[in-house]
Structure 1
Amino acid sequence: MFRHLLAPSLACFAVIGADAATADAVVMASTASDYGIGRVVADGEAVILPEGAGIHLLEANGRVVSLTGPFEGPLDAAPRDRAPAVAAALWTGGSFSQTDLGAARSLAPPPDTVRDVLAAGPRSPGRHCIADPGGGKEAPEVSAGGRAPGGVEIRRIAVPPDDATALAIGLAHEGCSAQLATLLARLRDAVVPIELALASDRGVYPTYRRGEPVRLTLRTSRDAHLHCRIRDARGTTVPIFPSRASGGSRLEAGAALTFPGARMPLPLHADGQTVQCFAGERDLSADLQAIGQDFTALGPDDLARIERVLDRDAGALATAHIVLRAE
Structure 2
Amino acid sequence: MSQALLTVKNLSKHFPIKGGVFRRTVGQVKAVDNISFSVNKGETFGLVGESGCGKSTTGRTLIRLLEPTAGEVLFEGKDIARLARKEMQAVRRDLQMVFQDPYASLNPQMTVGELIEEPMKVHGLYNKQERQKRVKKMMDLVGLNAQYITRYPHEFSGGQRQRIGIARALSLEPKLIIADEPVSALDVSIQSQVVNLMDDLQKELDLTYIFIAHDLSVIKHISDRVGVMYLGRMAEIAPKQKIYDQPLHPYTKALLSAVPVPDPKVKKERIILSGDVPSPSNPPSGCAFHPRCPKAFARCKTERPQLLDIGEEHFVACHLYDVDEG
Using structure 1 for the length normalisation, give the TM-score.
0.29
User: Which has the larger Rg?
Assistant: 1
Using structure 2 for the length normalisation, give the TM-score.
0.29
Structure with greater helix percent? 2
